[in-house]
Amino acid sequence: MGHILTVRWRAVSARYPYLFSCGEDKMVHCWDLEANKIIRHYHRYLSGVYTLFPHPKLDVLVTAGRDTSARHGLHSPLWGLTAGKTGVTLTHHRKSIRTLAIHPTEYSFASGSSGGSNIKKWKCLEGAFVFNFSRHNTIINTLSVNAEGVFFSGADNRSLSFWDYDTGTSFRTQGRRSKTWRMCPSWARSRLRVDKMIKIYAKPSQ
For residues 132 and 148, the answer to whether their CB atoms sit within 8 Å is no
* Element of type H or E holding 41: strand 37-42
Question: 3-state SS of the chain: helix, strand, coil percent to 5?
Answer: 0, 50, 50
Residue 45: inside a domain: yes
Residue 118: inside a domain: yes
Q: 41-55: b or e for each residue (b if 16 or more CB lie within 10 Å)?
A: ebebbebbbbbbbbb
Residue 99: inside a domain: yes
Residue 2: inside a domain: no
pLDDT tens for the chain, residues 1 to 206:
688 888 888 888 888 899 999 888 888 899 999 998 998 887 777 788 888 888 887 787 888 877 633 322 336 555 555 555 566 677 777 777 888 888 888 888 888 887 766 888 988 777 788 988 887 778 888 888 888 888 988 888 878 888 899 998 888 877 665 555 445 555 554 544 444 444 555 556 66
Domain of residue 158: give its range.
Answer: 7-202
* CB < 8 Å & 24+ apart, contacts of 86-92: 86/44, 87/60, 87/125, 87/127, 88/125, 88/126, 88/127, 89/44, 89/127, 90/122, 90/127, 90/129, 92/117, 92/120, 92/129
Q: 134-163: b or e for each residue (b if 16 or more CB lie within 10 Å)?
A: eebeebbbbbbbbeeebbbbbbeebbbbbb
Residue 20: inside a domain: yes
**Residue 106: CB partners within 8 Å, gap ≥ 6?**
none
Q: What is the pLDDT of residue 181?
A: 47
Q: Domain with 123 in it: what CATH number?
A: 2.130.10.10
Q: What is the model's pTM?
A: 0.64
169 - beta bridge partners? Answer: 164
Residue 101: inside a domain: yes
Residue 1: inside a domain: no
- The total of structural domains in the chain comes to 1
3: left (phi over 0), alpha (psi -120 to 50) or beta: beta
Residue 84: inside a domain: yes
